[in-house]
Amino acid sequence: SISSRSGSADVLKALGLPIPLDQHEAARCLDEIGFTFLFAPTYHPAMKNIAPVRTALGVRTVFNILGPLSTPATPPFHIIGAYSEPMAELMAEAMAGMEMKRTFVVHGAPGWDEVTPVGPYLCLDVTPGNVERLVRDPADLGIARCSPVDLKGGEAEENARRLKAALSGEDTASHRDALVLGAALALEVTGVSPDAAAAKARQALEDGSAKSLMQQLIQFGETLDRG
State how far the Cα of 176 lies from the Cα of 165, in Å rounded to an integer. 9
Give the CATH class of 8-223.
alpha beta
List, for residues 66-116, the tens digit of each pLDDT value. 878 888 888 999 999 999 999 999 999 999 999 999 999 999 999 999 999
All structural domains of the chain with their residue ranges: 8-223
- DSSP reduced 3-state for 80: strand
Residue 34 has pLDDT above 80, yes or no: yes
Q: How many CB atoms lie within 10 A of CB 196?
A: 12
Residue 180 near residue 206, CB atoms below 8 Å: no
With beta carbons less than 8 A apart as the criterion, state whether 182 and 115 touch: yes
Whether 169 has a pLDDT exceeding 60, the answer reads: yes
102-157 residue pLDDT tens? 999 999 999 999 999 999 999 999 999 999 999 999 999 999 999 999 998 889 99
Q: What is the pTM of this model?
A: 0.91
> Among residues of the chain, what percentage have pLDDT more than 70?
97
Integer Cα distance of 117 and 188 in angstroms: 17
Backbone angles phi, psi at 22, to 5 degrees: -75, 175
